[in-house]
Homo-oligomer: A and B are copies of this chain.
Amino acid sequence: MTLTAPGHRATLDAALDTIRSRGYWSPHPEHPKAYEGDGAAAFRARCGQRFALGQPGVDGWVGGEVSPYGFPLGIEYPHADPDVLLPAMRAALPAWRAAGPETRALTCLDVLARINARTQEFAHAVMHTTGQAYPMALQAGGPHAQDRALEAVAHAFAEQTRAPSAAGWTKPQGRREPLRLAKEFHAVPRGVSLLVGCRTFPTWNGFPGLFASLATGNPVLVKPHPAAVLPLALAVETAREALAAAGFDPNLVALAPERPGEGSARQLALREEVRIVDYTGSTAFGDWLEQHALQAQVFTEKAGVNTVLVDSTADYRGMLANLAFSLSLYSGQMCTTPQNLLIPRGGIETDAGHKSFDEVVADLAAAVDGLLADEARAVTLLGAIVAPEVLARLAAAPGLGEVILPSRALTHPEFPEATVRTPLIVALDAADPACRAEWFGPVSFAVAVGSTAEGLRLLRRTIRERGAMTVLGHTTSPEVEAALTEVCLDECAQLSLNLTGGVYVNQTAAFSDFHGTGGNPAANASLVDAAFVTPRFRFVEVRRPSA
């Protein structure tokens, strides 16, 4: 363990530069071949075993994860008595606080370096809890999640060092001696931070809060989704190893898996020791946390309804291909997947001539079909359906309107028990209330709007009422672009325009793109801005006269 390793400090400095410049940068390669180790073997070795963490207060073992690819993991995790574990975590706080922002940041970077070295293992853990296909599980669950974590550490370091650790203060007093004070400024943590993990992106959505809290001095208790424990258990294990190696109490990071039906997130979130909560998941529980965990700072990402407004395009093929990919990726089980595609009833102008509404939706359906024609390739894009609720929505959605593209069941060549489905597209009228609800999963609506102006109004209403993580517009008109921008500034939603190549609306890049705004009902936080870290600590000043 070399905390002062120039590598870690240089990485932190590069991250600090990039969150200011917001250009492209990552220290974590994306390509699977960059990562050594047999992740599949490491994953299989975990299955059927107890996952010991050496935490205090273990009062039983819990498990029950089932891979969306069709087999039980058989892993048991230590269940913790919060009355033992939380005081142990609190006891670890003072030394971590005293370490200061830089040592905390560099220790977090050491945790991340160790996580990065285990990327192949994380990939299989993410794949077999979320149902993501392996390439996505590796990238989104590995380097992209590590990027978001590093971004959070950089913001935490930057914000904690806005005040100097010490300053002199000399106030002139006319002919009398000036007043002189010596001042110290300490960044102090709030208390225990609770991470309530999500099922679909346990590391990508979980790491930012975990690392933002840890880097600001708060012990972090990780309550994973009961169906996606392994990725976060690996993270907790790695963090505890790194912390111990750096001479800190490993109880600064601990796991709190729940018993079936325990609902422990609700209990833990109201504990007096818990002063920060990070949550990704349903709107109902996110709203509950915001309304009840008033002793804590609560950061939520909930549900939204993402819209694409199609007004016109200079690259019809590119637009269709880009949309087809966005709808197919992880079977639409991303909080950023477009749901409502608003298309004028009278059609659109394109580089390939005027296209009627029917032509646009038929061409989009064909683009999806084409993308997924090769089943062996299709499963590496679609992954598996994560939960029966998603399947139930997919089964109900064809009844809502005219089916433009039926969903097909595919057979995974390696995991025949996996539930694999292609996207469904249903045509709806703009007046249909169905398009104002969230249909999480491989369900999209081609919504006929009377005009682009009507589409803008529906977009505004949808963001205001339901929230949105993403908005995508296709237009060749500067006026429509300006109107789209105005709606997104008014309603506080992230806007992508005219994506026709290899960048997809579902994807954001750490250090450059913000994920969510925190300003519409889909989320009260953004990954990662200063507002995501500044409430996690406070400045305490000590001042005394100086000579």
Contacts and interface: CB of A to CB of B under 8 A. Distances in A.
Contact of A185 (B22, B163, B168, B485): B22
Interface string A486-510: 1011101111111111110000010
B513 A543 contact: yes
A542 B495 contact: yes
Nearest to A275: B519
Contacts of A20: 162-164
Nearest to A294: B291
Contacts of A490: 94
Nearest to A181: B503
A188 interface: yes
A543 B22 contact: no
A514 interface: yes
Interface string A508-539: 01001110011100000010011100110011
Contacts of A503: 179, 181, 543, 545
A159 B173 CA distance: 33
- Interface range for A: 35 or more
B534 A529 contact: yes
A97 B544 contact: no
A171 interface: yes
Contacts of A267: none
A71 interface: no
A186 interface: yes
Contacts of A438: none
A34 interface: no
Contact of A540 (B23, B512, B517): B517
A492 B164 contact: no
B183 A545 contact: no
A13 interface: no
Contacts of A24: 169-172
B97 A190 contact: no
Nearest to A171: B24
A496 B163 contact: no
Given A512-B169, A534-B529, A545-B499, A164 B540 contact: no
A14 interface: no
Contact of A179 (B173, B294, B502, B517): B502
A541 interface: yes
B183 A530 contact: no
Contacts of A519: 188, 190, 538, 540
A540 B162 contact: no
Contacts of A172: 24
Q: Which 7 A-B pairs have the closest CB atoms?
A: A531-B534, A519-B538, A497-B544, A22-B167, A24-B171, A517-B538, A530-B534
19 contacts: A21-B167, A22-B167, A23-B167, A23-B168, A23-B170, A94-B489, A94-B490, A179-B503, A183-B512, A188-B489, A291-B294, A488-B540, A489-B540, A492-B538, A493-B540, A496-B544, A498-B545, A517-B539, A531-B535
Interface of A: 19-24, 94, 97, 159, 162-164, 167-173, 179, 181, 183, 185-186, 188, 190, 290-291, 294, 485-486, 488-490, 492-503, 509, 512-514, 517-519, 526, 529-531, 534-535, 538-545
Given A162-B530, A494-B540, 10 more contacts: A19-B162, A23-B170, A173-B502, A179-B501, A290-B294, A488-B542, A497-B542, A503-B543, A526-B539, A529-B539
